[in-house]
Structure 1
């Protein structure tokens, strides 16, 4: 349990981490506190804006829109790697998510899959919106990724949290895909290294418990592996299995159909739900180590 940082402490923490920070209008008193609690805070949530251009993105995140008033986050991270503070207090960014995920963030342990939306996240997470279209093609410049790392680490350092207090919107609320274009596991590793934590600092220790992404080329017709069996079992557990018999160790059209159902469950559509695993959807499936 933690009391939110004051506006001055948040600004100092970000600048001390080496970030260029812009203070937007009346950000220090711009919040949704009249609508509900802002506290206790437990973590940092990363989003993408689905917009382009710094000025338009910052304006949207400050003002909100007709169906969702601003602020829509606490800070906007632009493609140049600069942070624009747009709110301090409760912000409309997290929405309803999985209470089991919140419990894991509080305990600073590995996240479970997000499969329900039963808990309001707005009181409990700092939110950073990152300027990106979220279409899987809009690039993430190195400067922007470094700024996300620094911003998340700054908040964690100020609160004494570890890297497992940093999550993506896609890990909180079923159906969300943001941030799209990098994995949160990779970003947490960057935050871990920046904070100077040992490889398993605060996260439960031991060897990885889930299979790392083997690459899209791994999933070719005729491929046989116990990883494919384990993947199929997870798809069944998520309600996405289309198997009449199985799953088994050979990659088949039924595996691809089942994985496509998983991609659609995550919010992908069209060619992005083709049934061929990608790194982000694979990381969220959490296939047990075999």
Structure 2
């Protein structure tokens, strides 16, 4: 058993393991701690989202539903291997599970897989997994056909190894949701036994060891350059590319046309884009943020 990592410690552990981390706005104080314990922690549970698309999946896991408020995990692992942190503390991801599985994870005494679970959320003998496990949702339809790219599997391995290394756990502290609850089938499409072997190999090799990541493909779109980039009044082809996308989305408020120098016309146009996405009030102030920027799909300016 271990004390949960602080937000800073979690980010540091993930990055030390080579994980590409994106911090979703508000994640550091976003939790369900008012509903129950967070910790001591015993392991990591891997899930699939049953969704497609990074932005919508991240938003869903941050916000949740009316019947199940967010965060629905601690981080979302995208198809490209990027990990979007959405919660820090108790999260609605594991629900009730089998106490025999919890004991097997704590002692790390099982073979290739934990004992078959016979409990679930609401059953008489279930124990609270939301208090005891970190949870990571992986973007996948969960239908057995949606592929698991090499970069995504590499990120799952690195995330799991980072938390095991930080807490002094072995790979048997990493389980799938289907190994925790007899109601669940996630993650579907790869073997948790194989993933544990990968995690243990990485742990044995030290930070930076294990499987070499696949060479990353060049990103299709311009990464978010940061809030300070726009606040500094940039003169950049990124601004021109952004403006052209705003015009294409019917949100352009330019008298002459998009140019490289950030202007009030750019801010007004971006505010129109934010409103088109459903943002209101201070959330539609015209200053780009990571989620609305990703949705705009600004092409590379070079």
Q: Give the TM-score category using the shorter length.
A: 0.5 to 0.7
**TM-score of the pair, normalised by structure 1:** 0.67
State the partner residue of 1:75.
Answer: 75
**Distance in 1 between the 2:67 and 2:115 partners?**
31
Alpha-carbon separation, structure 2, partners of 1:135 and 1:88 = 29
- 2:191 pairs with one of 183, 187, 198: 183
Q: How does 1:129-168 map to 2 (within 5 A)?
A: 129-168=137-176
Separation (CA, whole Å) in 2 of partners of 1:116 and 1:129: 21
**4+ runs deviating over 2 angstroms:** none
SS in structure 1 of the partner of residue 46 of structure 2: strand
Aligned equivalent of 1:251: none
How many Å separate the matches in 2 of 1:144 and 1:20?
11
- Which residue pairs with 2:22 in the alignment? 22
How many Å apart are 1:115 and its aligned residue?
1.0
The answer as to 2:145 corresponding to 1:120 is no
Cα distance in 2 between the residues matched to 1:52 and 1:116: 29
Match for residue 32 of structure 2? 32
In 2, Cα distance between equivalents of 1:45 and 1:65: 20
Look at both structures and tell me which one has the larger radius of gyration over its CA atoms.
Answer: 2
How many residues align? The count is 197
Deviation at 1:190, TM superposition (A): 0.4
Equivalent position SS for 1:46: strand
Matches within 5 A, 1:189-200: 189-196=197-204
Alpha-carbon displacement from aligned partner over 1:249-284 (angstroms, at most 9, x marks no partner): xxxxxxxxxxxxxxxxxxxxxxxxxxxxxxxxxxxx
Three-state SS of the structure 1 residue aligned to 2:80 is coil
Aligned residue in 2 for 1:61: 61
| SS across alignment from 1:185 | helix
- Rounded to whole Å, the distance in 1 between the matches of 2:108 and 2:24 is 32
TM-score of the pair, normalised by structure 2: 0.65
Q: Deviations over 1:62-91 (max 9, x none)?
A: 000111000000000000000000000000
In the alignment, what sits opposite 2:179?
171
RMSD between superposed Cα atoms in Å: 0.7
| Runs (5+) with no aligned partner, structure 1 | 198-290
Residue-by-residue CA offset, 1:86-110 (whole Å, 9 max, x unaligned): 0000000000000000000000121
Distance 2:77 2:127 in 1: 26
Q: What is the DSSP-based 3-state SS (H/G/I as helix, E as strand, rest coil) of the residue aligned with 2:58?
A: helix
| Partner Cα separation in structure 1 for residue 128 and residue 35 of structure 2 | 12
* 1:188 CA displacement: 0.3
Cα distance in structure 2, aligned partners of 1:6 and 1:175? 31
Shift of 1:175: 2.1
